[in-house]
Amino acid sequence: MMKYFFAFCFALTINNGFAQPAVAVTIDATNAQTTISRHIYGHFAEHLGRCVYDGFWVADTLNVPKKDRIRLDIVEALKKIQVPNLRWPGGCFADEYHWRDGIGQRKQRPQMVNTNWGGVSEDNSFGTHEFLELCKLINCEPYIAGNVGSGTVEEMAKWVEYLNSDAKSTMTVLRGENGQQQPWRVKYWGVGNESWGCGGNMTPDYYADLYKRYATYARDYPGSQLYRIASGANSSDYNWTEVLMKKAARHMWGLTLHHYTVPTGNWGKKGSATAFSEAEYFNTMKNCLYMEELVSRHSTIMDQYDPSRRVALVVDEWGVWTDVEPGTNPGFLYQQNSLRDALIAGTTLNIFNNHSERVRMANLAQTINVLQSLILTKGNQLLLTPTYHVFELYKVHQDAKKLPVNFSSPDYLVEGKKLPAVNISASKDSTGNTHITLVNIDATKTITLRINLPATTWTTVQGRILTAPALTDVNTFENPGKVIIQKFSAAKKEGNELVVVLPAKSVVALQVR
Ligand code: AHR
């Protein structure tokens, strides 16, 4: 009897004076078959605020390393996290963008008003050639969103021809005259954006028919098969997914889903990026965890029409959307990025990894200076946000085999409401190493996990952690190193088990080999 009593006590950890039972987790490598597509780790750059202009693309006079006007310190930072794809030019902007305005001599390019984002002038100096040069420098795949809302079928067809054909034609000769002889062979092709809203306020039936028309004439050229992506649902609009799958599934490679985490849940007053209570933080995480339900329910609908899961669910806009930083242009969507953002990123990426049978592409909104950014800039200064560091921790999952994770999470309790405190995903890479990413969203409680790894032979574990004293902690231009990755030593082998003491409000990445 005493033996069992001691074993029980051993399985408890002391937490804020209270004993918490350790959480039993199983990560079984027996039948690991699904690949976590690297494209889940994609990003998004719209002509919005300071993402493209004064972000990627800067003034000739700015004193930073540049190729043409592309900022190379940004390129280097993005290469480090292995950005697999970049979505461009929008967003809402895509459905007002006319690609021929963005080619040829820059001085002669027409100007337009960016009606969606602040009504500012767009000089079209960053266009097709500049974007594809940027992707080449980052070493990522371009994902271009074509204009359905205000563009024609012919305009989209000609853009694809300009990009991908190697036969002689007016379009390909023009491409050569503009400096690019060889086709770029762009693969990922969005047919409109948010066609239920800023992309034309359409019904799903109308868009499904239009989608097929535009997608038909966006041709496959020899050696350049397009991966056509249809504009999908807004959050829980399950009917949109149903109609698109019923009417057009066989014409698409992917169908999108957009979902933003709004801290208060109120688009009129979204909440500050840097000043929030624990109750608001709890609400934010609830809205973030809703992605699990969204992905599951949209996938279930897709399963009915596509049981072999050929069509990808592409979550090509996600992230936290707060009020803008005080004093900044409300149309520019500039927001700071705190430890809370990191917990949102870690949690969402764990959800995508765990649904990688269906979710095969995702794009965080947006890369620089807009919404949940990876990078913020001020003049020639640059800082890496807590969110950037999560992508650095998680890059090990790219193209690795998903391992199923089984456990029952303890609750994170605030004002009588509860959420699962812990979320986890795991994978095995091509060299046989196992990677486990864990998030503890609880603001105050450390949680101990005892992880069993059937079908994995291992001897050592190494860990890294992202946390900070406060949920509201941010990196600033004065102090860019407040929320950064540190070594994590509270993961140990005990017998056959991996015991992890997971601190409150942290993202941890473990490598087991
Ligand atoms: O990412 C900002 C905007 O959010 C995009 O332009 C649009 O697609 C979405 O509503």
Ligand 1 contact, 45 CB (< 6 A): no
Q: What is the pLDDT of residues 304-346, one digit of tens each?
A: 999 999 999 999 999 999 999 999 999 999 999 999 999 999 9
Judged by DSSP in three states, 28 sits in coil
325 noted as active-site residue: no
Q: Do the domain assignments include residue 160? A: yes
Residue 387 has pLDDT above 60, yes or no: yes
Q: Do the domain assignments include residue 380? A: yes
Q: Do the domain assignments include residue 457? A: no
For residue 440, give the H/E element and its range: strand 434-440
Pocket probe for ligand 1: among 44, 46, 229, the residue whose CB has the most ligand atoms within 8 Å is 46
The pTM of the whole model exceeds 0.85: yes
Inter-residue contact 358 to 34 (CB < 8 Å)? no
In the block, residue with structure tokens 């992917």:
254
Judged by DSSP in three states, 34 sits in coil
CATH of the domain at 164: 3.20.20.80
Q: What is the pLDDT of residues 103-138, one digit of tens each?
A: 999 999 999 999 999 999 999 999 999 999 999 999
Write out the residue range of the structural domain in which residue 143 sits: 38-259+308-400
Q: Do the domain assignments include residue 124? A: yes
Q: What is the pLDDT of residues 49-96, one digit of tens each?
A: 999 999 999 999 999 999 999 999 999 999 999 999 999 999 999 999
DSSP assignment string, 171-221? HHHHHHHTT--S-----EEEE-S-TTTTTT---HHHHHHHHHHHHHHSPPB
Buried b (16+ CB within 10 A) or exposed e, 109-136: beebebebbeebebebbbbbbbbbbbbe
415 noted as active-site residue: no
How many CB atoms sit inside 10 A of residue 44's CB? 26
Q: Do the domain assignments include residue 26? A: no
Q: Do the domain assignments include residue 438? A: no
List, in sequence order, every residue forming a beta bridge with 401; answer none if it has no partner. Answer: 35, 428
Q: Is the peptide bond before 366 cis (omega within 30 degrees of 0)?
A: yes
Residue 186 confidence (pLDDT)? 98
Q: Do the domain assignments include residue 14? A: no
How many angstroms separate the CA atoms of 49 and 91, rounded? 12
Per the structure, how many domains does the chain have? 1
Q: Do the domain assignments include residue 107? A: yes
Of the residues 154, 194, 325, 357, only one is catalytic, namely: 194
Question: At residue 185, what is the residue type?
Answer: R
* CB-count burial class (<10 Å; 0-12, 13-18, 19+) for 17: exposed
Distance 329 CA to ligand 1 centre (A): 16
How many CB atoms sit inside 10 A of residue 458's CB? 16
Judged by DSSP in three states, 507 sits in strand
How many angstroms separate the CA atoms of 378 and 334, rounded? 12
Nearest to 345 by CA among 370, 373, 326: 373
